[in-house]
A and B are shown apart, each in its own frame.
Chain A
Amino acid sequence: MVNVLKGVLVECDPAMKQFLLYLNETSALGKKFIIQDLGDTHVFILAEVVHILQERVGELMDQNSFPITQK
């Protein structure tokens, strides 16, 4: 029989995907949210974590950016 799962498909670059795997392993969002790992650039995740995931990614980008200008 075929297995049928509902969720959200995420497409991103390989670096971002590693970040998602890291969040998944450490259960940083409160639980494991990756249903299936689909390759270098795609993962299948639970639908409800989409918003928190966006926030986390935003935080990561904020951490990695430095103000380049002087006032």
Chain B
Amino acid sequence: VALTAAKGVLRVQLQCKNLHEYLKELSPEILDRLYNHPATCLAVYRELPPLAKNYVMRMLFLDQPLPQAAVALWVKKDSEKDHDQCVSVLSGLRLWHSQQLQGGLQGNILNPVFKDNLRIALLGGGKSWADQGDSLGPDRHARDVESLDKYALERWEVVLHFMVGCPSAAVSQDLSQLLIQAGLMRTEAGDAPCITSAGFQFLLLDTASQLWYFTLQYLNTAQTRGMDLVEILSFLFQLSFSTLGRDYSVEGMSESLLTFLQHLREFGLVFQRKRKSRRYYPTRLAITLSAGVSANSSSTAMGAAPGTGDSGFIVVETNYRLYAYTNSELQIALVALFSECLYRFPNVVVAQVTRESVQQAIANGITAQQILHFLRTRAHPVMLKQNPVLPPTITDQIRLWELERDRLQFSEGVLYNQFLSQADFEVLRDRAQGLGCLVWQNVAHRVIVVSPQGHGEVKRFWKRQKSHT
């Protein structure tokens, strides 16, 4: 989560990392243990850029290291950049490492653990990934895909409802604890938790990003709960390869995995009829989970959006009116975050996007970009026919309303002026620049502004200069 301070108001910006960025941050030992499971290797492989996939495939069945020069020859001269990017991705994920060849050259060899498990994943063999529910016999209470989807949507919406503050939504203590730790809500001294500005931004994301962000937060806190990160991650990847509509058994799952399964049940990622049930059904949310953030930013999420129920339902007109064809409390609450609701009918809510409502949303920490993303991803099919999807007047005006608040930019500093000579000025200016604390300078008038942190150092430097000359 990156922080940008804007004129005294702290705006927290959500950053959704994708799978690779998350993995890169893990320590090498954990990564190596992770690669012990074929499901993980396959999931990581899927997300690689095409050139990297090609490299991995070529080296998959080699048992000796390949000289780096040979690898560099695989691309044409003008694709050097792609090659370098590929190399950095593969090294960052520890999929390969360098080894000295006999002739003294540097060679590359695939991480042996990764190599073996990817082979298993591709060719079959090894342990079966998830116990099929066959051993338990046919399920009398079997659920079909539709009801699974409905269930997943319901559960996920309860979580979101809870964040928006609907009194009817109730979640377990664990879940609200997790939300607080993720920075999406905060609680003051025994009161019910209330939402933060990061939480607002989270609400406006589309479901896939929300799920992924949430899962990452969960994984980050997993260790503090005494759960094994590797186990959980492998189980997640296994889930993402399961078939929708098929049940799996909980045989052989450890205590912490069972707890994890209960949490997943609460988010709507799996369905289990009762807590003690011995079989579970993964829902669509779990399966699309590790496809994660990368695939969703383009329009793919819109038509077949799992978990949003209906496809797009918002129509935005050039007179700043907004029509939301929904009666879901949650969606209406989200629209009300940045617009003024005018009328409500059984199937439609009429709202208006005004300067006050947008600036109120911005004061709560939502950015114009997020509002526009929200409108775009939930645009009604009628809107999708026009290009661009949202009227330019509206998009420009929302951005302008946001920029209104940024007309003045403040930075604390210390002003140095009235230098006796140009040389003095330049010496001090260069020193400040070298320290990286020069905020602004005006050569013609011999004035510089230094940041408060750098001021101490620059002052000492100046005193030393003075005592020398």
Interface residues of A (CB under 8 A from B): 1-13, 16, 35-36, 38-39, 42, 44, 47, 50-51, 53-54, 57-58, 61, 65, 67-69, 71
Contacts and interface: CB of A to CB of B under 8 A. Distances in A.
Interface stretch (B164-172, B210-218, B297-305, B409-417): B409-417
A71 B444 CA distance: 55
Contacts of B440: 9, 11, 38, 42
A65 B416 contact: no
A27 B322 CA distance: 44
B173 interface: no
Interface string B5-33: 00110000000000000000000000000
Contact of B408 (A6, A38, A53, A67): A53
A12 B403 CA distance: 12
Interface string B89-103: 000000000000000
Interface in B110-165: none
A11 to B, nearest CB: 5
Given A4-B416, A50-B8, A69 B320 contact: yes
Given A11-B411, A13-B407, A50-B7, 17 more contacts: A2-B417, A2-B418, A2-B428, A2-B462, A3-B416, A4-B414, A4-B416, A8-B410, A9-B413, A9-B440, A9-B449, A16-B407, A36-B415, A36-B447, A50-B8, A54-B8, A68-B320
18 contacts: A2-B424, A3-B417, A4-B415, A7-B413, A7-B414, A7-B415, A8-B412, A9-B413, A9-B439, A13-B407, A35-B415, A44-B413, A51-B8, A54-B7, A54-B8, A67-B354, A68-B320, A69-B321
Contacts of A11: 408-409, 411, 440
A62 B447 CA distance: 35
B355 interface: yes
Contacts of B404: 61
A13 to B, nearest CB: 7
Contacts of B416: 2-4
Contacts of A54: 7-8, 408
B73 interface: no
Nearest to A6: B414
Contacts of A6: 414-415, 452
A12 B408 contact: yes
Contact of B417 (A9, A36, A65, A71): A36
B215 to A, nearest CB: 38
B418 A3 contact: yes
Interface in B412-431: 412-420, 424, 428
B112 to A, nearest CB: 55
A61 to B, nearest CB: 5
A2 B416 CA distance: 6
A69 B354 contact: yes
Nearest to B439: A9
B456 to A, nearest CB: 12
A28 B302 CA distance: 52
B415 A69 contact: no
A6 B412 CA distance: 8
Nearest to A51: B8
Contacts of B411: 8-9, 11
B410 A10 contact: yes
B319 A10 contact: no
Contacts of B8: 50-51, 54
Contacts of B445: 38
Nearest to A43: B408
B408 A1 contact: no
A12 B407 contact: yes
B150 to A, nearest CB: 38
7 interchain residue pairs of minimum CB distance: A3-B418, A5-B415, A11-B409, A9-B413, A12-B408, A9-B411, A9-B449
Nearest to A11: B409
A71 B342 contact: yes
B176 interface: no
B352 interface: yes
Interface in B449-469: 449, 452, 459, 462
A10 B408 contact: yes
Contacts of B352: 69, 71
B422 to A, nearest CB: 13
B4 interface: no
Contacts of B7: 50, 54
B442 interface: yes
A39 B408 contact: no
Contacts of B409: 10-12
A57 B417 contact: no
Interface string B182-203: 0000000000000000000000
A5 B452 CA distance: 11
A10 B7 CA distance: 10
Nearest to A45: B410
